[in-house]
Structure 1
Amino acid sequence: MANKTGVTPLTKDPTKRGRGRVKGSQNKLTMLLKELATERGPAVANVIYDAAEKGDMQACKLVLERLTPPVRELPVTIDLPDATTVDGLIAANGVIIAAVSKGALTITEGTGLQTLLNNQYKVLEGGDLEQRIAALEEQQNG
């Protein structure tokens, strides 16, 4: 039933509302793009490859971006002292700072390694606290 403006108000009855898009169904644009990629994708790829072979730098960039995955992180190799004691962690931190200051590690790499050392310190600290509590409880009970 329309009001004075000619607009039908929304119903408050939840059974009369639409259910929306069916789960898993695709929108029309997505379906169209998939169809175009299936039909014309190989032809477009061939044109790009041909342009890249002729020296088109933009085409070369497109080809290389698709052929090689982006480099996320490279492994860091550095000799650190034993990090199973607090003294070892302090020494390892000094080695990391020295490597960053010499340019052997980037600041980001050094910070990442220091985060690992900090986590190791927390593990050591937690183990130490557990041992102290156990000793106090034994002393109190025994």
Structure 2
Amino acid sequence: MDVFYYWKNIDQDIKEGRIGWFQSGKEELNKLKARHPNYLWVFKTPPGRKGNLQLFARLAWTDGATTSGAKLRPAGESNIFYDPTNPKSVWYTESDADSAVTEITEWARPHLPQAFTSNFQGKNGQWAIERPQCLELEKIAAKFSSVPFPTGQ
């Protein structure tokens, strides 16, 4: 099992050094954590393409902070941690092509319909991806060039 994560503020978070963790509601995080995910698959709506998704990265999930500066969240919120230096944590460099956005969107719509109808807001920006869907996503992602996460920022 892996996790779909909608990273709304990619550019701002990177610019401000918020790397290695995402904010999550405690209840949602506990549900995901209990299933021992392998990866976070990071998505966002590409500019000018409302209703579509772009795959930005695959990040190795960890149960604790691997970077300094992870911020503690207010009561009721938690952090999802990932290891940005893990060799399997990558940025996808060709995922902004029209064909790539179309293919990712067509993969996601039937698997994550509630995420789309809620515009990926709050808890609808993070979902478990079951193994059969992970295999489909891995097959699509294999078509894209990738670079190690730290160098792609």
TM interval, shorter chain, is: under 0.3
Write 1 or 2 for the structure with the bigger share of helix: 1
TM-score by length of 2: 0.17
Q: Compare the two structures and name the one with the higher strand fraction.
A: 2
Which protein shows a greater Rg? 1
Higher relative contact order (CA 8 A, sep 6+): 2
For normalisation by structure 1, the TM-score amounts to 0.18
